[in-house]
Amino acid sequence: MKFSSVTVASVLTISIVLNIFAPVKPTTSQVPQLNIEEIPTNKLEIVKKRVDLIRLNGQRVKLIGRYTSKTWKPNPQSTGIADFQGLYTKSQIVLEDDTKVSIFPSGNKQSLRPLDEAESHNHQIVEAIGVVQFEAPLALNSQTRESFINLEQLRLYRD
């Protein structure tokens, strides 16, 4: 039995295509994968003062302090939206020693907090979970520095 080159090429092409779409078995890698959800919140280091913030800089922590917020009407030209009628609300958590920790860095859109959050949490003691940064520059080559938390979770504090 003699096969033409077209038949051989077709069979090879089909087998290659079928191998591409064949199911891939999951890896059995022994490399542990870190999932931030796997770290129970009761095992996180607690930040209540500036010294804690400095010591735990860059780490995922539980930050406890008083929630404060400020709401204002921005200049519509700075929003990039003609006839902008909304309000901006930015919030921070004030630690026991009056150190202020912004919720997200000021230039980040997530730093604009929902009005209902600000109303329900304002002047309350809160527990915030996230990665903290101590006096990080606000921009490249900036002299202005800000401490902030990249917030994952926020709730009213319960002893």
For the cut 50, the answer to whether the pLDDT of residue 85 exceeds it is yes
pLDDT tens figures, 89-107: 999 999 999 999 999 998 8
Q: Average pLDDT of the chain?
A: 82
Q: What pLDDT, on a 0 to 100 scale, did the predictor assign at position 32?
A: 44
> What pLDDT does residue 130 have?
98
pLDDT in tens, 53-65: 999 999 999 999 9
The tens digit of pLDDT for each residue in 13-24 reads 666 655 655 555
Token look-up 């003609």 returns 82
The DSSP code sequence of 131-149 is EEEEEEESSTT-S-EEEEE
pTM for the full predicted model: 0.70
Q: How far is CA 83 from CA 77, 78, 115, in A?
A: 9, 11, 20
The total of other beta-carbon atoms located within 10 Å of residue 44's CB is: 17
Average pLDDT over residues 69-77: 85
pLDDT for the residue 99: 96
Tens digits of residue pLDDT in 123-139: 999 999 999 999 987 77
For residue 143, what pLDDT is reported? 80
**Structural domain spans, the chain:** 36-156
Q: What distances in angstroms separate CA 149 from CA 69, 95, 109, 144, one per listed residue?
A: 15, 12, 14, 17
7 or 158: which carries more pLDDT confidence? 158
Dihedrals φ, ψ of 94, to 5°?
-100, 120
Is the confidence at residue 37, as pLDDT, over 70? no
CATH 1.10.287 describes domain 36-156: no
Per the model's pLDDT, the better-predicted residue between 55 and 159 turns out to be 55
In this prediction, residue 120 has a pLDDT band, given cuts at 50, 70 and 90, of very high
